[in-house]
Amino acid sequence: MITLHHLENSRSQRLIWLLEELGVEYRIERYNRDPKTSLAPESLKKIHPLGKSPVITDGENTIAESGLIIEYLLKTYDNGRFLPTENTPAYWQYLYWLHYSEGTLMPLMVMSLIFNKIKTAPMPFFIRPIAKGIADQVMKSYVGPNMANNLTFIETHLSQQPWFAGEQMSGADFQMIFPLEAAIKASIKAEDYPHIAAFVQRVHALPAYQEALRQGGPYDYA
């Protein structure tokens, strides 16, 4: 049986959705974040040395990283629904967005989160204006423009097709839902990116997604 090591409010929620869609037998091992640091507990290091989530165990296999987990699950358990035929345009789109999510988009979102937290972090009063000034400048000159450029890129892509790899759902959609949920919750207006908003709403309406929320517990993706 597959075991998903699920950290609350994390990328592992999208894998519960995938497991529900695949209809495979699985169990969830839950982990809570440290209430002060929001970091994963040390107990996750017993599963994987980096102590990160998501991680799955399946027999003798222990697999980390969302993209690799999605590839493994699709190649092992998919019945042709979410893994496009190799060397087709849909297949290359699927692989592109599978890697783009964590390789390009999420680093920008993490940077945005960090620099916004810097502005409100406890520090000596005489340091605060300097720290805030640096954070504001990084957001204005680098993170903000790059986020806007990437969101426009995604919006344009989704204006041409309902799913990331074309007319049918693929593993790319499971990978892309987390950053887009977070973007809509935390930083963008749905009316400015209607196709991104429609994609998120389309996913949220799926029965398997709704069941994944019930299985995974409270989920604050911002």
Residues 6 or more apart whose CB falls under 8 angstroms from that of 136 comprise 119
Specify the pairing of strand 55-58 against strand 61-64. Answer: antiparallel
Question: Tens place of pLDDT for every residue, the chain, 222 residues?
Answer: 999 999 888 889 999 999 999 999 999 998 888 888 777 888 888 888 988 889 999 999 999 999 999 999 999 999 889 999 999 999 999 999 999 999 999 999 888 877 677 777 777 766 777 767 776 777 777 888 999 999 999 999 999 999 999 999 999 999 999 999 989 887 788 889 999 999 999 999 999 999 999 999 877 764
Q: How is residue 183 written in tokens? A: 């973007």
Domain covering 2-83+210-216: architecture: 3-Layer(aba) Sandwich (3.40)
Which residues in the chain are classed under CATH 3.40.30.10?
2-83+210-216
pTM for this entry: 0.90
CATH number of 89-206: 1.20.1050.10
Residues 6 or more apart whose CB falls under 8 angstroms from that of 176 comprise 97, 100, 101, 154, 164, 199
Determine if the peptide bond prior to 35 is cis (ω within 30°): no
